Structure 1
Amino acid sequence: MHFYAIGDIHGHFHLLTEAHERIAEDMARHGPAPIIHLGDLCDRGPDSAGVIEYLRLGIAEGEDWVVLKGNHDRLFTQFLNDPSWADPGLRAVYSWLHPALGGAATLASYGVHAPQDRPVVAVHADALAAVPQAHRDFLESRPTSHPIAEALCVHAGIRPGVALDAQVEQDLIWIRKEFLEDPTDHGALIIHGHTAIAEATHYGNRLNLDSSAAYGGPLSAAVIEGRHAWLLTETGRQPIPYAWDR
């Protein structure tokens, strides 16, 4: 069995459609299979609204796609629910509209004027009017993990030592250090994004597909068979390097 996974999109609609084109070419050779999107659909890039609508419509029309929830997706919906809400994954100095988070770019993609330069109350009111309820419902209903074949797909990672079926949302969408520094086998290959790196990399017990699309890097689309993975490129499948082979 094979399946596909796509890393953090961050509002880059054209990169997402290009990734889907590469997957379609691979499917033409190897057969159809599910596509797992690892979350962070929004923020930083220019067209978060387009990304969300494309994925929402695809699933509604019966595409075999799974879209996971990322921390940025939760930040977006929680801002709409309550702009004063503080995500426990963020330091107190940050809010979703802080330039480091990229929330303003998301609201701009919905036509909200100057989201970083006006009072939050006014921005929130405009956001409620601009963001379709269907988009809010779609983001809020996203799963935080998806087991498939010999893998578990999540956004950020898992809490080592905790059973895979007992993981909590906060870790699945935010964890870094404890997960990234743990070399032990987790019982499944953990496929994740969240922590931006230069290129998709296999660590043996995990596969990181966040190749920094949010910061001008490529959007990685991979095909996974068992615990082996290949990056989909314009010239076909290329083995994803193991960290120790670099």
Structure 2
Amino acid sequence: MKLNRSKFMNIVKLNMEDYDRVWVISDIHGYHDLFLKLLDKIKLTAKDLLIINGDSCDHGPSSFGMYETIEKLIHDGLNIIHTFGNHEDMMVNAIEEGEIFAWYRNGGRQTVDSYKKRYDILNKHLKYMKNMPIAVDLGKYFVVHGGINPKKKIEDQIPYEMTWIRGDFIDHPLLKTNKIIVYGHTPNLDGKIHFVDDQKISIDCGSYDTGVVGAIELKSMKIIYESTHRLNIYLNQHFKKR
């Protein structure tokens, strides 16, 4: 899978002290209802920053609703940044490059169904995706969908790896940076946010398996969750005692 728009990638640099709170969520995957419930708990104000760390589409029933709501919140004056996830990458590639099958196998069919042939809005959302940053640099924290190559400096990272990397990042110490990496992409199958080590915070709560989405506020380290009944069903199926 190639990264459709690597030449357009950028890293947004922000100062955390410019905001009262800095919330990060990730991998909502079309579960618009859970997103709205999470927002109701967070109660964002114009003095806060919300980073949506990729993968708002696919699997769940309302990818359309996700991007429409995000657009409305930005229009209403809230500070929201959405980073580019691998599912945004698959969606852009499928529609603009014809790579349909990989996307459909990974939840793309549900995304198509959610748009109900509203192609004008779909094109608007695609334009929004292609202008998403690859990461947000907050100084102490670095928010990116997949992770980073642990052997490279931040400035030497490749956009494809930052969007798609998993094991090579998670399983190895970071040799070229002191930043704490806040990432999604690799689901935590217990539906929780994990502090993997001193430099890695994993925030993908596995929404389309567990029915859980989570958010972390980076100044206070407060964590909140929203979930459906699916978590107990999932845990019983996959972690029941033998």
TM-score normalised by the chain length of structure 2? 0.77
- 1:14-25 alignment, distance < 5 Å: 14-24=33-43
| Structure whose residues are more often helix by fraction | 2
Q: How many residues are matched?
A: 203
Shift in Å, 1:62: 2.5
Once the 2 structures are TM-superposed, how far is the Cα of residue 156 of structure 1 from its aligned partner?
Answer: 0.6
Q: Encode CA deviations 1:144-187: one digit per residue, 9 max, x unaligned.
A: 10011410000010011211122221011100011010134631
**Which residue of the partner structure matches residue 218 of structure 1?**
212
Question: For the structure 1 residues 167 and 60, does the alpha-carbon distance in structure 2 shift closer, same or farther, using more than 3 Å as the test?
Answer: farther
Q: 1:97 to 1:131 in 2, by over 3 A?
A: farther
Match of 1:194 in 2: 185
Distance 2:154 2:36 in 1: 31
Aligned counterpart in structure 1 of residue 32 of structure 2, from 3, 7, 13: 13
1:110 and 1:130 in contact (8 A); partners too: no
Shift of 1:131: 4.7
Query: Is 1:34 equivalent to 2:34 in the alignment?
Result: no
The residue identity in structure 1 corresponding to 2:112 is L
Gaps of 5+ in 1: 86-93, 113-126, 235-246
Identity of aligned residues (%): 24
Matched, 1:106 2:111: yes
Partner of 1:152: 142
Q: Which amino acid aligns with 2:113?
A: A
**Unaligned runs of at least 5 residues, structure 2:** 1-16, 227-242
Between 69-78 and 160-169, report the one with greater CA deviation.
160-169
**Matched residue, 2:122:** 132
Instruction: Give me the CA root mean square deviation.
Output: 2.2
Mapped contact 2:84–2:129 kept (Cα < 8 A): yes
Structure 2: how far apart are the matches of 1:217 and 1:176?
22
What per-residue deviation string (whole Å, max 9, x for no partner) do you get for residues 37-64 of structure 1?
1100100000000001111222233211
Letter in 2 for 1:180: I
State the match for 2:235 in structure 1: none
Kept in 2: contact 1:56–1:138 (CA 8 A): no
Hey, what does 1:240 align to over in structure 2?
none
Residue 53 of structure 1 aligns with an amino acid whose one-letter code is E
* Aligned AA (1:209): I
